[in-house]
Structure 1
C-alpha cells in the first residue's frame, strides 16, 4: 500500500521534523501568546492544543501555528518557512514580560501519524493533536536522537511512510490550506475561511480591530475554497479562475487526485458559479 493510500484508508507516518518548534517559558507566557495570536491561550490546560494565526497591526496573517500547552511551557509548532519570523515577531514584543523563547527545532524531531486508523499507532514523546493533511491523527515530538527508534517502531507496527507529495495531495483533497502556499501575508483572516483559528470573545490581541471590523461589516471580496477541475494536469499557482468569461480568482495549490480522477485545488474566488481554470470546467467542492 502506498503512503497516499495509507493516509486515506488506514494510517501513514510523515517526517515533519523540518517544521519549527519554539518553546515558551516564564510566568507571563500565556498572557503574551494570548495577546499575540487569534485564539484563546489563557484558558488552555496541559495537554491541549489549538490552531492560531499571528497577525500584524493591519490584520494581515504573518504566520500560523499549532500551540501546545504543557505543565511548565507552551510549544509553538510552525511551518518551516515561518520559524524565524515567529521567533523574532514574539521577541520584539517581550519588554518587561517574564517570557523566554527557545528555538528547539534542531534538538528535536517531529513525526506525524494520520489516517482513519491513526489511533492504533504507537506513541512517544510529546503528543500534539494536529493534522497536516486534514485526516485524523497526531504529531509526536521527541529528542532528535530518538527519531530513528520511533520510526522503526512505526514500521514494525506496519505503518507505511507517506512522502511530502503524497501528504500534499491528501491535504488538497481535504481542502486544508497551508501557510506559504494558500495563505500568505496578503490575506486577512476571513478570506481564508479558517475561523477555527479565531476566538471571537477572547479580548484584545494584535490585529483584532481589523478582524472585528470585517466580521461586523460582512464584506469579504474573495475567499478560499476547495474546487475540482476536470483535467489531468494541475494548474500552476497563480493560474486564473473564471466565472463564465469573467476572471473571478486564482489557484493557490493544485494536485492530481488518483482517488477522485480529477485535479483538486484551492483557490481564492469572488464568484462560485460556472467556474473554469486553464480552459477546463471546475466546480466548488463541499469538504
Structure 2
C-alpha cells in the first residue's frame, strides 16, 4: 500500500529535518502516516462479558464511541500485550501495534470456550494518519472537517468530501493528537489538504522523540512480558472494581500490599549518551535500567532523555543514579519542554516522579 503521505514529486531537500518536525509537533501540527498499528475486531453476543474478563480495564462500562487503554496479562500477572479498546454498537475494536496482532489473536482465541465470540484481523481495511500538535484541531477545521472529538479516546465516524472518515482523539499527554482512518484514496486526499493548510510531514524519528517527551512506554521496548502492570506506572490501564479477569489476582495483591519495588521513570541523562539497556547503579549496586534513550533537539535547546525502571528505595532516598558514562536524574513526565533543559537535583526531581 502507498503511504498516504507519499509524493512522487518530492525530494529529500523538501523534507523538513527531524528537529523542524519536532518543533512542528510541539508548537504547530505534524502529520504522519500510521503504518505500525493493527486492529482486532471482536463480535458476538458474549463479546462484552468475555473481553471484559480478558483485559485490565472496564470494557463493560464503555459506551459506543468511547475507548480505554488495557493490558492483557498472563495468569501470573505479567503483561503479554497492550492496546486501546473502542466500543461500537455491534462490536469491540482492539487497536494495538501491528506486530502484536498475531500473538494477541492467538492468546485471546485460547480462551474462547463456549462463548459466542468471533475474532477477526481488520488491519488492512483502512489507511491511517496521525495529526498532532497544538494547532492540529484548528487545521482540521480549516479543511472543513465536520467534527473534532473533544474528549480523549473518543471515536467518531464522519463524512468529509462525501467519504467516511473515522477520527479518534488519541491519548495525548503532551500535545493534542488525532487519528484519521479512511480508504487509501481518502487518506491521501486528507494528507494533501492538511499539508496545504500548514501541517508538516513528520517521520518516525520525530514521533519517537515526542514519545520520550511524553514519557509513554512502548510494549516490546519499555514494557516486556516480565513486567507487572503497576511497575509501568500506567494506572490508566487498570480498573480495580470491575471484577475478575485474567491475572487480576496478582494485580489486586499488589494493590492491597502497597507499591511494587521498581517503578517506570523518566530521566535526564548527564554525560555520554548510553545504549538502550544500560544499567543504573547506586552505591555500587544495580538498581535499574534504561529502556529508551535519545538526544532530543528541543526548540529551547538539546536535551538527553531516557525512560526506564529504577528501585523505589533508590528514588525515595534521592541517591545519585549512575550509568556507564554519566548520571541519570529522575524528572517528571510528560516533560515540560522548557523546564526539561534546566538543571535540577536528583532529590528534588525524584519527589515529583
Q: TM-score range by the shorter chain?
A: over 0.9
Unaligned 5+ residue runs, structure 2?
1-15, 146-159, 334-353
2:209 to 169, 172, 182: 169
Task: Describe the superposition over 1:13-36 as per-residue Cα deviations: whole angstroms up to 9, x where unpaired.
Answer: 221132111122222221122111
Would the alpha carbon gap of residues 121 and 206 (structure 1) be closer, same or farther in structure 2, given more than 3 Å must change? farther
Q: 1:120 & 1:75 partners in 2: Cα distance? A: 28
Q: 1:146 & 1:107 partners in 2: Cα distance? A: 13
Residue pair 1:244, 1:276 contacting (<8 A) in 2 also:
no
Are 2:245 and 1:205 equivalent residues in the alignment? yes
The equivalent of 1:188 in structure 2 is 228
The equivalent of 1:150 in structure 2 is 190
Task: Describe the superposition over 1:255-275 as per-residue Cα deviations: whole angstroms up to 9, x where unpaired.
Answer: 112125221000110122311
Q: 2:191 & 2:132 partners in 1: Cα distance? A: 14
Q: 1:72 & 1:157 partners in 2: Cα distance? A: 36
Residue pair 1:115, 1:137 contacting (<8 A) in 2 also:
yes
> SS where residue 116 of structure 2 aligns?
coil
The equivalent of 1:138 in structure 2 is 178
Residue pair 2:81, 2:219 contacting (<8 A) in 1 also:
yes
Which runs of at least 4 in structure 1 moved beyond 3 Å after TM superposition? Answer: 131-134
The equivalent of 1:19 in structure 2 is 37
The equivalent of 2:59 in structure 1 is 41
The equivalent of 1:280 in structure 2 is 326
The equivalent of 1:8 in structure 2 is 26
Would the alpha carbon gap of residues 121 and 100 (structure 1) be closer, same or farther in structure 2, given more than 3 Å must change? farther
Are 2:276 and 1:237 equivalent residues in the alignment? yes
Moved more, 233-242 or 2-11: 233-242
Task: Describe the superposition over 1:173-222 as per-residue Cα deviations: whole angstroms up to 9, x where unpaired.
Answer: 22111111100101010110101100111111100000001111125121
Are 2:297 and 1:258 equivalent residues in the alignment? yes
Residue pair 2:70, 2:82 contacting (<8 A) in 1 also:
yes
The equivalent of 2:76 in structure 1 is 58
Q: 1:174 & 1:32 partners in 2: Cα distance? A: 33
> SS where residue 184 of structure 1 aligns?
coil
Q: TM-score, normalised by structure 2?
A: 0.77
Q: 1:160 & 1:196 partners in 2: Cα distance? A: 30
> SS where residue 327 of structure 2 aligns?
strand
Moved more, 75-84 or 142-151: 142-151
Would the alpha carbon gap of residues 132 and 234 (structure 1) be closer, same or farther in structure 2, given more than 3 Å must change? farther
Moved more, 150-159 or 76-85: 150-159
Q: TM-score, normalised by structure 1?
A: 0.94
Q: 1:92 & 1:145 partners in 2: Cα distance? A: 37
Question: How much is the aligned-residue C-alpha RMSD, in angstroms?
Answer: 1.8
Unaligned 5+ residue runs, structure 1?
none
> SS where residue 237 of structure 1 aligns?
coil
Residue pair 1:21, 1:76 contacting (<8 A) in 2 also:
yes
